[in-house]
């Protein structure tokens, strides 16, 4: 009973964008599925996918025509009974990884995903080294003035004895 109804919705979803030629608003009521569970899933998926002609906007946010087409495509696949992963795979197969806002973990992106961790470890090591050096310097130097400080002090004292320039 449910399948033909969903197919009808899906057809509606396809027909509407054809009828509207000017750019459509992000998530038109026309596109929305009447099944709230499916629609919710569609919105979730849409937020993961990039509008191909925009600057880092998801298709859920964009009102470009291409984003609209993708939103309809997502809903079409959902109605056809795909799981969320299958829908995303379907779209990636057609548009490539470029469409994913969250870059997938694969050999090309190992460096990308590893970099925050590597950087964090390096920063930790650097900070640790910094403190160890500080500690060693502090241990090596008792609470007396260093030679630099002493010359500086003499300089200042010497100057004030001469009457000072200021």
Give 140-149 contacts, CB < 8 A, sequence gap 24+: none
CA-based nearest residue to 16, from 61, 60, 75: 75
Give the three-state DSSP class for 32.
coil
Lookup result for tokens 């449910």: 2
Interface segment toward another protein; rule CB under 8 A; list 3-11, 70-78, 80-88, 111-119: 111-119
Structural contact between residues 109 and 98, judged by C-beta atoms closer than 8 angstroms = no
Tell whether residue 166 is a contact of another protein (CB under 8 A). yes
- Which one of residues 50, 71, 75, 77 is an interface residue with another protein (CB under 8 A)? 50
30 counts as binding another protein under rule CB under 8 A: yes
Which is nearest to 45 in space by CA: 15, 1, 90, 6? 90
Q: Which of 9, 13, 33, 48 binds another protein (CB under 8 A)?
A: 48
Binding of another protein by 80 (CB under 8 A): no
C-beta closer to another protein: residue 7 or 128: 128
Does 153 engage in binding with another protein (CB under 8 A)? Answer: no
C-alpha 129/C-alpha 48 separation (Å) is: 40
CA distance 61 to 51: 8
Q: Rule CB under 8 A: is residue 41 a binding residue for another protein?
A: no
Torsion of Cα atoms, 140 then 141 then 147 then 152, to 10°: 140
Which one of 3-11, 73-81, 83-91, 149-157 is the stretch in contact with another protein (CB under 8 A)?
149-157
Select the residue interacting with another protein from 138, 154, 157, 158 (CB under 8 A). Answer: 138
Residues engaged in binding another protein (CB under 8 A) = 16, 19-20, 22-30, 32, 48, 50, 52-58, 61, 63, 96-103, 108-109, 111-112, 115-116, 119-120, 123, 126-127, 130-131, 134-135, 137-138, 141, 146, 148-149, 152, 155, 166
């Amino acid at each position: 009973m449910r399948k033909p109804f969903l197919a009808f919705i899906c057809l509606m979803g396809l027909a509407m964008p054809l009828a509207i030629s000017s750019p459509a608003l992000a998530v038109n009521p026309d596109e929305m599925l009447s099944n709230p569970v499916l629609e919710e899933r569609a919105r979730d998926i849409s937020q993961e996918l990039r509008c191909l002609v925009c600057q880092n906007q998801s298709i859920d946010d964009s009102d470009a025509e291409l984003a609209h087409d993708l939103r309809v495509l997502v809903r079409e696949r959902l109605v056809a009974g795909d799981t969320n992963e299958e829908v995303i795979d379907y779209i990636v197969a057609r548009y490539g990884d470029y469409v994913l806002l969250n870059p997938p973990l694969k050999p090309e992106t190992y460096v990308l995903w590893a970099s925050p961790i590597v950087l964090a470890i390096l920063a930790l090591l650097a900070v640790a080294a910094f403190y160890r050096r500080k500690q060693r310097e502090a241990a090596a130097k008792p609470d007396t003035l260093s030679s630099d400080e002493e010359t500086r002090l003499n300089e200042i004292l010497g100057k004030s004895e001469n009457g000072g320039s200021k």
